[in-house]
Amino acid sequence: MTKAEKVEFVINSLEELYPKTPIPLDHTDPYTLLIAVLLSAQSTDAKVNQITPLLFERASTPWQMVRLSVDEIREIIKPVGLSPMKSKGIYKLSHILIDKYNGKVPESFEALEELPAVGHKTASVVMSQAFGVPAFPVDTHIHRLMYRWNLSSGKNVVQTEKDAKRLFPKEKWNKLHLQIIYYGREYSPARGWDLEKDFITREIGRKSVIKEYEKKKTGK
């Protein structure tokens, strides 16, 4: 199977499995999405979705957020982890949004990545999911599957993103990155991985990955 055929197989398979791709993080507008994505760093969407209602009940706009102290924000978001850094970032970026953007989330990668605690992945998620701008945010699931599927070298997420953007049609990026995440969680997790269930990897996967899986399963 050529790489082009593999890409087509992935697209068709994921479209059949996940014709609809709801955004995993609960939010109501670009600002609440930005905060939710920031909170999701080294946490899970499920945990973030438990915490954001508590935070947004107190502050769902930049103006409301800056009325809270950093300590108050940190106390609310503590269960998601990295709360000292995240609380400072949320407080500072809310001030910047008010002072520089009239309280609105800017619609550019450059402006978003200049905000405290906002990296390239967070900016990419916001641009794609809030504003519909083509982007391919790479999380651990996408990084893992692009390697397992022999579509990227697995060196780092920067290279994985470049490969994904090069291989997949731009008009499919926003939906496809979510489809791959859903597939990774359901069919090809990092732990408890069952190759019998993971039909895409069985069909197009890297031979060394499949051999390593079989070796661990048989103990030989």
**Topology of domain 3-20+137-218, CATH:** Endonuclease Iii, domain 2 (1.10.1670)
Which residues are known to be catalytic?
A: 121, 139
Query: Is residue 141 left, alpha or beta, with left meaning phi > 0 and alpha meaning psi from -120 to 50?
Result: alpha
Non-local (6+) Cβ contacts of 8 within 8 A are: none
- 30-129, CATH topology level: Endonuclease III; domain 1 (1.10.340)
According to the model, what pLDDT value does residue 220 have? 60
Q: What is the mean pLDDT of each run of 10 residues along the chain (220 residues)?
A: 95 98 96 97 94 98 98 97 96 98 97 97 97 96 97 94 98 98 96 95 96 83
- Output the six-digit token pair for 58: 């107190």
Per the document, the length of the chain is: 220
The beta-carbon contacts of 49-52 under 8 Å, at least 24 apart in sequence, are 49/24, 49/25, 50/79, 51/76, 51/77, 51/79, 51/80, 52/25, 52/26, 52/27
Q: So what's the pLDDT on residue 113? A: 97
First to last CA, the chain: 29
CA trace torsion 162, 167, 173, 177 (10° rounding): -80
pLDDT of residue 131: 98
Alpha carbon distances (Å) from 59 to 23, 79, 130, 144: 21, 18, 19, 35
Q: How confident is the model at residue 117, as a pLDDT? A: 95
Enumerate the domain spans of the chain.
3-20+137-218, 30-129
Give the pLDDT confidence score for residue 216 in this predicted structure.
Answer: 85
Residue among 210, 196, 194, 201 at smallest CA distance from 180:
201
